[in-house]
Structure 1
Amino acid sequence: MATIRPRVKAPRKAAPGDVVEIKTLINHGMESGQRKDKDGNPIPRQIINKFVAEFNGTEFFSVDLAPAISANPYLSFYAKVQESGEFTFRWHDDDGSVYEDSKSIEVA
Structure 2
Amino acid sequence: MARTLISVPKTAEAGEIVTIKTLISHPMETGFRPGADGRIMARDIITDFTCLYDGEEVFRAETFPATAANPYLTFTTRATRTGTLSFIWRGDNGFEQTETATLTVT
Which of the five TM-score ranges fits, normalised by the shorter chain?
A: over 0.9
For normalisation by structure 1, the TM-score amounts to 0.95
Task: State the partner residue of 1:31.
Answer: 29
- Identity between Structure 1 and Structure 2 (%): 36
The alignment of Structure 1 onto Structure 2 pairs a total of residues equal to 106
Task: State the partner residue of 2:57.
Answer: 59
Query: Residues 11-90 of structure 1 correspond to what in structure 2 (within 5 A)?
Result: 11-90=9-88
SS in 1 for 2:102: strand
1:7–1:101: 8 Å Cα contact kept in structure 2?
no
Root mean square deviation, CA, Å: 0.9
Task: State the partner residue of 1:99.
Answer: 97
Task: State the partner residue of 1:6.
Answer: 4
Where structure 2 has 5 or more consecutive residues not aligned to the other structure, the ranges are none
1:85–1:104: 8 Å Cα contact kept in structure 2?
yes
1:6–1:99: 8 Å Cα contact kept in structure 2?
no
Where structure 1 has 5 or more consecutive residues not aligned to the other structure, the ranges are none
